[in-house]
Amino acid sequence: MIPVLDERKEKILAAVVEDFISTAEPIGSRTIARKYGLGVSPATIRNEMADLEEMGYLRQPHTSAGRIPSERGYRYYVDHLMQPEEPDKQEKELLQKCVRTKAREIATVIQQTGLILAQLTNYAALVTSPSGKGVYRHIQLVPFGPGQAMVLVVLASGEVFHRLTPVPEGITAYDLESISAVLNAKLRGLTVTDIKSTIIKEIYAELSYYRQVLDLAFELIQEALTAREERIFRGGIHSILNEPEFKNVERLRTLLGLLEQEDFLCDLLASHTGQGIDIRIGREFNREDVRELSMVTAGYQINSVSGVLAVLGPTRMRYARVAGILRYVTESLSEELRKAFGGEI
């Protein structure tokens, strides 16, 4: 969409959006003239606002109230008028500290980041752990008491899947070790589509004695490689209650309900591809029950491993601030991941 508004209209639109974002109250011509000195009188602004309303960028909750932005108004604002706000120094440090702690599992780092994100923005944060294309890296069968084994499957992305599973009584630790060795030799670096029946047959032939154990192992491998499990972490849900739009309990329930629909969230975040910032506003979700929410998403990526950070709030969201913070976080995160994984994925 190309900008189509003249400069004064843009200024007025920006004023309405920004004022409404910070006060949550409809804004009138008088206030704009006073607070955002444009050198014209309220009457002029009234005329302009009437135009903007006719063009669909503003609307009036009721006749005798001021104007508020429509979804289209927000869209124009984020596309043409807004400048992402660079986080301040203190915030940057906080985020860096969070992203840099190598001492922990990656999933934990991401989760922490989500919490900080929520804290800084005062909206709900959603975060997917980094996940790759599902490339096999390693399997380990560990004896675990009589008749049981722990199966560990490690993917190239660093994700680990594990399962406790029964094995036939006769199998020894040594057997498990050899099975692991063969599987690792044959499968390393393959994706689920690469693991064709020829390879499987080959392995079964080589390890014909262990058919039963192999079945179990393949089951978990299969699962690990396909599981677009996209674990989602949520944070800061309570902070969203500060927003006056959620004083309305019905709306709040919708939001909380959504946040528990793992599948929906996955789809939502999955629809963000690549790096960069996406913003989705209200009805753009194409869902009956999501009309008053906006979401800013940002992808981080290193080679084939990627994930998404998202901030969910009311349509009246501090887009500039959120976009700025997200941009900073994902950049830091990508950088750290690059260091952690080296070039080797």
Partner DNA sequence: TATTAGCACTCTTTGGCTTCGAGTGCTAAC
Partner DNA sequence: GTTAGCACTCGAAGCCAAAGAGTGCTAATA
Task: Say whether residue 237 binds its own copies (CB under 8 A).
Answer: yes
Under DSSP, is residue 101 helix (H, G, I), strand (E, B) or coil? Answer: coil
The option from its own copies, DNA, none interacting with 64 (CB < 5 to 8 A, set by class) reads DNA
Number of residues that bind its own copies (CB under 8 A): 40
List 9, 11, 36, 46, residue binding DNA (CB under 7 A):
46
| Residue 148 within binding range of its own copies, rule CB under 8 A | yes
Q: Which helix (H) or strand (E) holds 181?
A: helix 173-187
| Residue 236 is a binding residue for its own copies (CB under 8 A) | yes
Interacting stretch for DNA, rule CB under 7 A, among 29-37, 176-184, 278-286, 337-345?
29-37
**At its nearest, how many Å lie between its own copies and the CB of residue 161?**
8
Long-range contact list for 335-339, CB < 8 A, 24+ apart? 336/99, 336/100, 336/102, 337/106, 337/130, 337/300, 337/302, 337/305, 338/302
62's contact among its own copies, DNA, none, with CB below 5 to 8 A by partner kind, is DNA
Member of 129, 140, 306, 332 binding its own copies (CB under 8 A) = 140
Count, residues near DNA per rule CB under 7 A: 24
Q: Is 47 in the site for DNA (CB under 7 A)?
A: yes
Residues 220 and 215: their CA atoms lie apart, in Å, by: 9
**Do 322 and 87 contact (CB within 8 A), yes or no?**
no
Partner from DNA, its own copies, none contacting 270, C-beta within 5 to 8 A by type: none
- 117: nearest Cα among 98, 89, 104: 98
CB of 238 to its own copies, least distance (A): 4
Q: Interface with its own copies includes 185 (CB under 8 A)?
A: no
Piece in contact with DNA (CB under 7 A), picked from 46-54, 100-108, 130-138, 256-264: 46-54
Report the site for DNA in 50-69 (rule: CB under 7 A): 50, 53, 60, 62-67
Return the ∠ at Cα 334 (arms to 333 and 338), rounded to 5°.
115
* Binding span for its own copies by CB under 8 A among 24-32, 251-259, 271-279, 283-291: 251-259
Q: How many helices and strands in the chain, by DSSP H and E?
A: 12, 10
> Is residue 150 within the footprint of its own copies (CB under 8 A)?
yes
Torsion of CA 91, 97, 98, 102, to 10 degrees: 160
Contact between 227 and its own copies per CB under 8 A = no
| Strands (DSSP E) found in the chain | 58-59, 68-69, 124-128, 136-143, 148-155, 160-166, 232-235, 276-281, 293-302, 305-314
Residue pointed to by tokens 């639109």: 13
Burial group, residue 78, by CB count within 10 angstroms (0-12, 13-18, 19+): buried
What are 297's strand-pairing partners? 278, 310
| Cβ-based nearer residue to DNA, 26 or 84 | 26
Identify what 283 binds: its own copies, DNA, none; CB under 5 to 8 Å per kind.
none
329 close to 99: Cβ distance less than 8 angstroms: yes
Contacts with its own copies, residue ranges (CB under 8 A): 104-106, 137-138, 140, 142, 144-148, 150, 152, 154, 158, 160-164, 235-238, 241, 246-247, 249, 252-253, 256-257, 259-260, 340-342, 344-345
Q: Using CB under 7 A, list all residues that contact DNA.
A: 26-31, 39-44, 46-47, 49-50, 53, 60, 62-67
